[in-house]
Amino acid sequence: MNAFKLWYHKLGSPPYFYLFAGYIRPWLWGIALLLAAVGLYGGLVLAPPDYQQGDAFRIIFVHVPAAWMSLFIYGVMAVSAFIAVIWRPKMAEVLAMESAPIGAAFTLIALITGSLWGKPTWGTYWTWDARLTSELVLLFIYLGVIGLYHAFEDPRQGARAASFLAMVGAVNLPIVHYSVVWWNTLHQGTTVRYFGPSSIAPSMLWPLLVMTIAAKFYYGASLMGRSRVALLSLERGKDWVRAEVAGAPAGG
């Protein structure tokens, strides 16, 4: 077995993962904060105001990364959930279940920033646009997964049931999106135009990309932190957790 494969298999063990997550978490945090600072400076200060929307467009530097992350995290969660249901490794369950609240938070941020942007731009906080509606349904799927996870007394059983729901949601999500697009075009023409990826100026594009990468690193950092806590709670009573808790400095 080569070194990478060995390392990968070791990651499946909760004590090893706990150490590994604790080691890389400060690095992920650092990179995320640094990139976010650069991206926000580029987006809020350096980028010129939009010729139509003025300064209102600047919310996209938070909104677009959050919206992308909401889907990205769902993808990560669905893959972990699939692994958790089929092969039942504990770490896949933990990663899937700890991804869900982060994904839900990003979805909520995308919805809130989207409606804040919508008020000056479209003149309303909410419209039944296809993307908005799909994003709202995505939030419900996340909440369903979180709710089902916590409804079980046994967290491992809850994780497996919620993982199954996450897989059902992964199948359902594209269906919801296309049916909502169909429904929206049936009732009214498209009144909302988003930025096309090609029609955005380079001075606005690079802060956006930097913010996207910052969001990815933040997700990694947050996932590592949440997984560590979840592991301590799941594995309580095991020797390594006792040693870990006993060895921790007071108040730490």
**Which residue matches tokens 């604790």?**
22
Determine the number of helices (DSSP H) and then strands (DSSP E) in the chain: 8, 0
Say if residues 246 and 46 touch (Cβ distance below 8 Å): no
Count of all residues that appear for the chain in the document: 252
Q: Which is nearer to other proteins, 26 or 147 (CB)?
A: 147
Distance CA 119, CA 121 (A): 6
In the complex with other proteins, the residue whose CB is nearer, 16 or 164, is: 164
- Residue (3 or 186) nearer to other proteins, CB: 186
Based on the shown chain and the rule CB under 8 A, indicate whether residue 128 belongs to the binding site for other proteins. Answer: no
Residue 87 touches other proteins, criterion: CB under 8 A: no
Does position 81 bind other proteins by CB under 8 A?
no
Least distance between other proteins and beta carbon 128 (Å): 11
- By CB under 8 A, residue 175 contacts other proteins: yes
* Residue closer to other proteins (CB basis): 184 or 222: 184
- Which residues partner with 218 through β-bridges? none
* Choices 110-118, 151-159, 224-232, 242-250; region in contact with other proteins by CB under 8 A: 151-159
Task: Please say whether the beta carbons of 10 and 16 come within 8 A.
Answer: yes
Note whether 239 binds other proteins by CB under 8 A: no
Q: Does 140 bind other proteins (CB under 8 A)?
A: yes
161 is a site residue for other proteins (CB under 8 A): yes
CA distances in angstroms from 39 to 32, 56, 211, listed in the order given: 10, 17, 5
Comparison of 58 and 160: residue with beta carbon closer to other proteins: 160
**Which amino acid makes up residue 7?**
W
